[in-house]
Amino acid sequence: MHAKLLDYLKKARDRQVMDGLNPVSPGIDVTYEFGRRIGNRIGMDYMLLLADKFFNDDESKDDKL
């Protein structure tokens, strides 16, 4: 189950990254837009890191018991 969730989150992260490669529409503040896109990617990476750590810590605690 954990692997399924992590795979789903990785796919969602990849979609965010691919959407970030689209050109910026005229009239949009470029610095804001690219900051938002980079923030989305970094946030998704951090979420994946924490989810992976949570599941691995949870599994290691079960082994010690």
The rounded distance, in Å, linking the Cα atoms of 15 and 64 is 37
25, pLDDT greater than 70: yes
Cα angle value 23/34/27 (rounded, 5°): 60
59, pLDDT greater than 70: no
Which pTM does this prediction carry? 0.73
